[in-house]
Structure 1
């Protein structure tokens, strides 16, 4: 019965979203604020994969209507926690008698997310730890949600996205979500990242506790910090330090190790009392082939040279093109908007002129969807880089991207 009710809710939200898209496609006006509010209320209660996907969408700040993004973004910071009685069921499945392992478990979570929520606990030996507890029945909910998602994604045909490309996008999203349900994989990723970045000053990865962890409960040592999204009013020197650490770490992840932490929303990051960046969540880690990195750098090189034909060639290799007739004028406009960020010297990510120009291009991008396509093979990579761009914007970062990208462009040409 509960599953049928969940399906009805998702279908209703999907139909409402589809109606808004269709009205816009036909030249009408959609009430994006009302839709954002409805999605927040419905998905906050449903949680699970549907809420996770909405959080992903919220990171597409440069493509979606601002009023819709505002509603979806609330899911990252204001989601309602699941009642303790249901969370305790998962703990009992893991520990049989949680009291044998913990002197105390706080019933009020200090973080609630799409797939689970985090509770502080004190072990029988007196150590404070955190327990990331998966919501009950999530495995069953995932497959049902994916079925509804496949139906909702058919709306993309109204935006001239090919069915083959929609299927590829769906399969990548589905694989990512299924992977996130296994907390043993996240524990392994935490251990791997702790060993890999032990040399990295300014970066902290919580230590997993294998003896207290399982497929649906992840136990970690407690690392206290100020959430990244609360740093907008912090001291400028701290924000610049954190922005530099984040950028250095992402570069090393990609170009040295060929992996990427692929869940960039600000709730997964914090800063400790020493100004170190804390990475709390490693549920989504993806492999990034060197071939994709080289092609992305070729695309950036073409953008900086204002070479529209080379941009089209790179997009084709990334799977971001279809049909005949490259939108060369749109490429040139996009290059003119983005290239100032890579000029020599320190560039200010808080400069709203770039964001404004990108938003102004959005209708033209949608209008060219008969020739442009979401690049399925790098969907999570591009979404992650976009999400971290907005993290740098929130930090008010000032970075010399010209100096940072010169060696990477040379590597791509080699």
Structure 2
């Protein structure tokens, strides 16, 4: 009964979303605020893959209607926690009796997300840990939820997104969600990253504790910090230091190690009392081959040169266009908007003029969707980079992007 009720609720939310998209497609007006509120309330309670998909959608600030994006963004910071009784049941299943293992476990989580939530705990020896607890029954409902998400994603065909692209996006999402349920793999990633960045004074990776961990509980040593989403009101020096560290770390990940942290949810990052970047969650790490990076840098190079034909060729190399490609005027307008962020010297990544121009281009991008497509094998990478970019924007980052990208562009041409 619970699974059937869950399916009905997901289908209802999908129908409401489809109705709003259809009205827009036919030239009408949709109440995006009301839709966003309904999605927040429903998905916050249901958790799981559909909530994860909405969190991903909310990171595309420039493409979604502003009211819808604002409501969906609440899922990244205000999601309702699972009742303690359900979480306690999972912990007791794992530990036998948590009172024998811990002197105290906070019943209210300090973080809750789509697939699990995090509780502080204190051992009888006085050590403070954090316990990442998977939502009960999530593995059992995952495939059913994914089936509903797949049906919802068919709405993309109304915007001329080919079925092959939709299938690729779905498989990418499904693989990511299934991977997030593997807490053993995440513990291994934490250990690998701790070793990799042991000599980086500005980056902190929590230590996994295998003795307390298992299939549905991941224990880590507690590293206090202020979540990235709460740093918008911090002093400028702290925000700039964290932003520079985040940018340095992402560059190191991509161009030295060929990997990328693929869940840029702002709650996965924090600043400690020494203004160091804390990376809490490594449940999603993806490989990034050199040839894919070089193709993306070729596109950036063509964009910065304002060369529309070269941009079209770079998109073809990436697999991001079909037919005759997008209108050259659209390439030129996009290049003019983006290049402002790569002018000499420090640039404000939060420059509203740039984002306004990109938002104004959105209707033209959608209109060209029959010729201009997200590359099928870079959907997760593109979405992830976009999410990390918006984390930098929210920090108010001022970075010299020209100086940062010059050696990377040179590397891509070797």
Interval of TM-score (by shorter of Structure 1 and Structure 2): over 0.9
Would the aligned equivalents of 2:153 and 2:166 in 1 still touch at CA under 8 Å? Answer: yes
- How far apart are the structure 1 equivalents of 2:321 and 2:16? 29
Structure 1 partner of 2:41 = 41
Per the alignment, in what secondary structure is the counterpart of residue 27 of structure 2?
Answer: coil
Deviations 1:255-308 (A, max 9, x none): 000000011121111111111011111111111111110000000000011111
Q: CA deviation at 1:325?
A: 4.2
CA distance in 1, matches of 2:99, 2:184: 22
TM value normalised by structure 1? 0.99
Distance (whole Å) between structure 2 residues aligned to residue 7 and residue 262 of structure 1: 28
Matched residue SS, 2:119: strand
1:143 aligns with 2:178: no
Supply the distance in 2 between the matched residues of 1:232 and 1:326 (Cα, whole angstroms). Answer: 37
Give the Cα–Cα distance (whole angstroms) in 2 for the partners of residues 226 and 128 of structure 1.
17
Aligned match of 2:165: 165
Matches within 5 A, 1:7-406: 7-406=7-406
Confirm or deny: 8 A CA contact 1:292 1:318 kept in the other structure. yes
Does the CA contact (< 8 Å) of 2:242 and 2:275 recur in 1? yes
Confirm or deny: 8 A CA contact 2:207 2:221 kept in the other structure. Answer: yes
Q: Secondary structure at the match of 1:64?
A: coil
Q: Displacement, 1:25?
A: 0.9
Contact 1:172 1:376 in 2 (8 A): no
1:100, CA displacement in angstroms?
A: 2.5
Structure 2 portions without partners, runs of 5+: none
Could you tell me whether the CA contact under 8 Å between 1:306 and 1:335 is conserved in 2? yes
Deviations 1:87-130 (A, max 9, x none): 11111221122222211111111111110111110112210000
Check the 8 A contact 2:325/2:372 in 1, yes or no: no
Unpaired runs of 5+ in structure 1?
Answer: none
Aligned residues: 414
TM-score, scaled to structure 2: 0.99
CA pair 348-245 structure 1, distance change in 2 beyond 3 A:
same
Once residues 215 and 365 of structure 1 are traced to their aligned partners in structure 2, the CA distance between those partners, rounded to angstroms, is 43
Work out the CA distance in 2 between the residues paired with 1:381 and 1:170.
14
Deviations 1:336-393 (A, max 9, x none): 0001111111101122101100100111111111111122211111111111111111
Contact 1:301 1:409 in 2 (8 A): yes
**Secondary structure of the residue that 2:344 maps to in structure 1?**
coil
Counterpart-to-counterpart distance in 2, 1:95 and 1:327: 60
Deviation (angstroms), 1:215: 1.3
